[in-house]
């Protein structure tokens, strides 16, 4: 399976107690855009995506925004076979320069 290059825009971690079960829910959500994304018929530009990772992954993320290799694996959910990102490996930093108005 081929990995893809993405631009990781940011990450946030969360932790809360599920009100129904009382169970602790924790995770890290990584927000990214694909570098090879081609907009669909009803899209303009790049639409950010996200992948939920383990809570501890938050400390593994390096510089953001940055270019990362998204490591993928097959993921079986019920009867559907899909692709899931299982790791992000830092490649290089990236900057977004905004015009400054005086």
Q: What is the pTM of this model?
A: 0.83
59, 35 in Cβ contact below 8 A?
A: no
How many domains does the chain divide into?
A: 1
- What pLDDT band is residue 29 in, cutting at 50, 70 and 90? very high
Spatial separation of the C-alpha atoms in residues 33 and 2, rounded to whole Å: 17
> Is 98 within the bounds of a domain?
no
Q: Is residue 63 part of a domain?
A: yes
Q: Identify the CATH number of the domain in which residue 63 sits.
A: 2.40.50
The answer, yes or no, to whether residue 1 has pLDDT greater than 70, is no
Domain residues for the domain of 11 are 4-38+45-93
Instruction: Tell me whether residue 69 is in a domain.
Output: yes
DSSP letter for 59, please. Answer: G
Instruction: For strands 24-34 and 49-53, give the pairing.
Output: antiparallel
Asked if residue 99 is part of any domain, the answer here is no
- Is residue 21 one of the residues assigned to a domain? yes
> What is the arithmetic mean of pLDDT over 30-41?
85
Mean pLDDT of 2-19: 93
> Is residue 61, in this structure, part of any structural domain at all?
yes
Distance set, CA 97 to CA 86, 94, 100 (Å): 30, 10, 9
State the pLDDT at residue 50: 95
């Amino acid at each position: 399976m081929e990995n893809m290059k993405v631009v990781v825009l940011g990450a946030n971690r969360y932790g809360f107690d599920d009100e129904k079960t009382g169970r602790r829910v924790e995770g890290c959500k990584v927000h990214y855009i694909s570098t090879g994304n081609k907009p669909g018929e009803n899209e303009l530009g790049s639409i950010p995506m996200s992948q939920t990772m383990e809570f501890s992954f938050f400390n593994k993320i390096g510089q953001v925004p940055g270019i990362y290799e998204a490591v993928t694996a097959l993921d079986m959910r019920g009867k559907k076979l899909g692709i899931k990102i299982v790791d992000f490996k830092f490649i290089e930093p990236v900057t977004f320069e905004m015009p400054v108005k005086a």
